[in-house]
Structure 1
Amino acid sequence: MSDAIRTSTTDSTNLRTTATPASGAVRPEGEGVAAGSIPLDGIRVLELGTLLAGPLTGRFLGDFGAEVIKIEAPDKPDPLRGWGQVKDGQGLYWPIAARNKKLITLNLRVPEGQRVFLDLVSKADIVIENFRPGTMEKWNLGYERLAEVNPGLIMVRTSGFGQTGPYRERAGFGSVGEAMGGIRYVTGFPDRPPARVGVSIGDTLAALHATIGCLMALHERSRSGRGQVVDTALYEAVFSVMESVIPDYLLAGYIRERQGNILPGIAPSNIYLTKDDKYIVIGANADNVFRRLCQAMGEPELAEDPRYATHHARGERMEELDQRIEAWTRTLDAKDALAVLERHGVPSGLIYSAKDMVEDPQYQAREMIVPVQHPVYGTFPMPGIVPKLSRTPGQIRFPGGSAPGEHNDDVYRGLLGYSEEVLARLKEDGVI
């Protein structure tokens, strides 16, 4: 503890409150959510990350009840504030990325800020950071130092290449992780350069893996009482979803290349143009599903045709089979084709834009777009919480705030017990 800063002692357990859920909190219809029933209620998280992977991890934990305290430098707020389309001077992604988070400012580059951080660590369960490896150690805030203050602390560290290895000190954004993790190599069409997925999938995968690791460490701590480091590398998070590309190469001499909208040997599974110039996805590569597709097309005999009757046969004649299916889809508008496919139990769907999502009854029934009140925008359409828990669902308690340091008083006075005089001095010195 910092005796120079602490002026009173506060029982932190009395300060871990569950906020009233914002309008549209996700829960089963007709059921309330009692205080303390949300899964991570009572877990306190300090989020140091900027941009995407670190803040996404904090968001996932906050969605299920963790008290997330997001720390930004006083002179350099998170650049994520400007992401998305800008409306009324603010990026529209920020209210989503910062939802369910308390916002404070703290300068970790100065000794006084580091002492304040250690006070926060003493009352935390988890620290999230996604700086380049060595940054926290440079500030004398590596895991060994933090564990001296709080042996039960879990430190979630996300970086381009992990905390060890010859590349550990390299700068690494999600785009680099996508490239070196392998997903960019197989994304796109064979006659064009590698493409990217239309969202920051590398950061998202890293955040999901970091969240999983964090939850496993929390579970283990319940037995041992000890914390540990969760080390997630962006390239490894991407690599972990790359299916069998390595044994395909090492054992079969095959390197998967860009194939556009198909997967090698998997047919039919493609996009198909309809009469009204829309594209629908059809996945009918399993034998029984292909049989149902043939019935939907009015050609049941195709399912017994030796050219298409087996998985391998369809894979070998993928192009001609896709042309045959599209010849059928082009005779129908998308909604009519999908209705026929649905009746026959064939997995299919329209390729959705944001407009399609907003208008879709399934999105509405599952509360995947939740209206939440925002101080600047009024009703803000917030993406819903995934996954859905039947008994203790997550909550959107409040949207991401606007001003850096918005909750300084709540955290520094309420949680740490700092006096007005101490807060004034920290602000004057540029610590907060």
Structure 2
Amino acid sequence: MKPLQDIRILAIEQYGAGPFGSVHLADLGADVIKIEEPHSGGDVGRYVPPYQQEQDSLFFEVFNRNKSSIDLDLAAPAGRRVFEDLVRVSDVVYSNLRGDVPAKIRITYDDLKHLNPRIVCCSLSGFGMTGPRRAEPGYDYVLQALTGWMDITGEPDGPPTKSGLSLVDYSGGLVAAISVLAAVHAARRDGIGSDCDVSLFDTAMAMLTYPAIWNLNGDFHPRRTRHSAHPSLVPFQAFPAADGWFVVACPKEKFWANLAVAIGRPDLATDPRYATFEARRTHAEELLAVLEGIFATRTVHEWLTELRAAAVPCGPVNTVAAALADSHTAAREMIVETDHPRFGRIRQVRSPVRVGGTTPEYRRAPARHESADRVLHGLLGYDAATVEELDRSGAFGRPRTAQP
């Protein structure tokens, strides 16, 4: 069996953060059933350009592989009936809605425990289910600004800068996935489910880590650093070579000693101004000027060859295309393929989660309502007449001319 093959998750999710958390659970074998709102066209991720046609997009693919889909109008009594029947045979109700919405649409633990005492209700929202901002929509960009990330990202003389990736969204999704696994474990042990109140705000604040503790317990004020330098360790930043950029990191004294030898300046390692972490931090400006002058004399490839031979942590500043083509990417089997009826053979990055030696299987993301037959007939045991009546009653949105 796959690691999570015995877990069923009802995912009321869309776009990035929520689907990013549940896709890793789906990759591990969990039965993730996306409940898509029929009147608005389902998950908005289906319509994200540039690689998008009708209700399919490559954006949607990467967040929703290995999942199932069913249209369900939770506001309609017939749709609510189907949802409640699904709760009875599931382990988790997982959502990424505004913090005030789960209670409004009755998908909290108190709302559902009479149907299934072991149900886990995980809400991933922008600001959580409590607090003054709970009713505000939360998006990665907004959270990066609000929690101080943008203030410490970018060049010192440049504007506040967002990360090139939606790291708050992705981290929030992973925190939600961890919360789900912990809550399911507790529910199976104790026989009682729970709410998981996860927020992007909490996630982004928690990721402030050491700058936060330095600020809360001292006079440290994080600031943007030149060439993405570490706030206290020197050298630990990007450097320009003769033909591009690369990163050098010396988080241990031995790496600094090795670096000094590799660049032909062993004297720097013993110079009292640079001999320790604190000394290099104090004299960072003059030391970095020396290093930049040396690194500018040779190519990135030449320096990486020297530094790797000296066991100094380093790497090129790759483009995304170069990173995807890296030999280590191939060796780690990080690119997987799926077949799609519209886009053909799709290549995408796999989940980094690895359990045991089994390679996960990957199948394309579902079309809207594609899994209705499996869910309604196979899982819930509805007969054709019941499904037809649910359809006429608006359970799946507008009545359909053909029902599975």
User: TM-score, normalising length from structure 1?
Assistant: 0.87
Report the counterpart of residue 265 of structure 1 in structure 2: 232
Q: In the alignment, is residue 327 of structure 1 matched against residue 280 of structure 2?
A: no
| Post-superposition offset of 1:205 | 1.1
Assess if the C-alpha contact under 8 Å between 2:3 and 2:355 holds in 1.
no
| Post-superposition offset of 1:45 | 0.6
Report the counterpart of residue 81 of structure 1 in structure 2: 46
Structure 1 residue runs without a partner (length 5+): 1-35
CA shift digits 1:202-255 (9 cap, x unpaired):
111111111111111122223212111111111110111112333322321222
AA at the equivalent of 2:287: L
Report the counterpart of residue 174 of structure 1 in structure 2: 140
CA distance in 2, matches of 1:355, 1:171: 33
Assess if the C-alpha contact under 8 Å between 1:188 and 1:195 holds in 2.
yes
CA distance in 2, matches of 1:41, 1:233: 27
Q: In the alignment, is residue 56 of structure 1 matched against residue 23 of structure 2?
A: no
CA distance in 1, matches of 2:186, 2:53: 45
Quick one: higher RCO (CA 8 Å, sep 6+), 1 or 2? 1
Among residues 112, 119, 123, which one is paired with 1:153 in the alignment?
A: 119
Higher alpha-carbon deviation: 89-98 or 299-308: 89-98
Report the counterpart of residue 140 of structure 1 in structure 2: 106
- The 3 A distance-change label for structure 1 pair 146 and 394 is farther
SS in 1 for 2:311: coil
| Post-superposition offset of 1:84 | 5.3
Assess if the C-alpha contact under 8 Å between 1:40 and 1:61 holds in 2.
yes
CA distance in 2, matches of 1:361, 1:134: 46
- The 3 A distance-change label for structure 1 pair 110 and 88 is closer
Percentage of identical aligned residues: 32
Higher alpha-carbon deviation: 43-52 or 369-378: 369-378
Assess if the C-alpha contact under 8 Å between 1:264 and 1:315 holds in 2.
no
AA at the equivalent of 2:24: F
Higher alpha-carbon deviation: 379-388 or 409-418: 379-388
| Post-superposition offset of 1:267 | 0.6
| Post-superposition offset of 1:63 | 1.3
Assess if the C-alpha contact under 8 Å between 2:93 and 2:107 holds in 1.
no
Report the counterpart of residue 214 of structure 1 in structure 2: 180
| Post-superposition offset of 1:83 | 3.0
Report the counterpart of residue 307 of structure 1 in structure 2: 273
CA distance in 2, matches of 1:223, 1:429: 39
AA at the equivalent of 1:102: S
CA distance in 2, matches of 1:371, 1:171: 34
CA distance in 2, matches of 1:349, 1:194: 25
Report the counterpart of residue 29 of structure 1 in structure 2: none
- Aligned 1:93-242 pairs, distance under 5 A: 93-242=59-208
AA at the equivalent of 1:40: L
CA shift digits 1:78-114 (9 cap, x unpaired):
1111335315554222111110100111011222211
CA shift digits 1:37-78 (9 cap, x unpaired):
x21111001100112221112112111110100110112211
SS in 1 for 2:151: coil
| Post-superposition offset of 1:270 | 1.0
Structure 2 residue runs without a partner (length 5+): 397-404
Higher alpha-carbon deviation: 412-421 or 113-122: 412-421
Q: In the alignment, is residue 47 of structure 1 matched against residue 14 of structure 2?
A: no
Assess if the C-alpha contact under 8 Å between 2:78 and 2:394 holds in 1.
no
Assess if the C-alpha contact under 8 Å between 2:336 and 2:362 holds in 1.
no
SS in 1 for 2:338: strand
Q: In the alignment, is residue 399 of structure 1 matched against residue 364 of structure 2?
A: yes
CA distance in 1, matches of 2:190, 2:214: 40
CA shift digits 1:267-320 (9 cap, x unpaired):
1011111222x1101102421100111111011111001111110111122232
CA shift digits 1:160-205 (9 cap, x unpaired):
1111122222222222222233322211222222111011111111
Two-structure CA RMSD over aligned residues (Å): 1.7
- In the alignment of these two chains, the number of paired residues is 393
Assess if the C-alpha contact under 8 Å between 1:157 and 1:232 holds in 2.
yes
User: TM-score, normalising length from structure 2?
Assistant: 0.92
CA distance in 2, matches of 1:74, 1:419: 22
CA distance in 1, matches of 2:353, 2:82: 35
Assess if the C-alpha contact under 8 Å between 2:123 and 2:198 holds in 1.
yes
Report the counterpart of residue 310 of structure 2 in structure 1: 344
SS in 2 for 1:381: strand
Q: In the alignment, is residue 418 of structure 1 matched against residue 385 of structure 2?
A: no
Report the counterpart of residue 8 of structure 1 in structure 2: none
CA distance in 2, matches of 1:349, 1:106: 48
- Aligned 1:373-384 pairs, distance under 5 A: 373-384=339-350
AA at the equivalent of 2:43: D
SS in 2 for 1:100: coil
AA at the equivalent of 1:384: R
CA distance in 2, matches of 1:319, 1:425: 75
AA at the equivalent of 1:362: H
Assess if the C-alpha contact under 8 Å between 1:272 and 1:282 holds in 2.
yes
- Aligned 1:348-363 pairs, distance under 5 A: 348-363=314-329
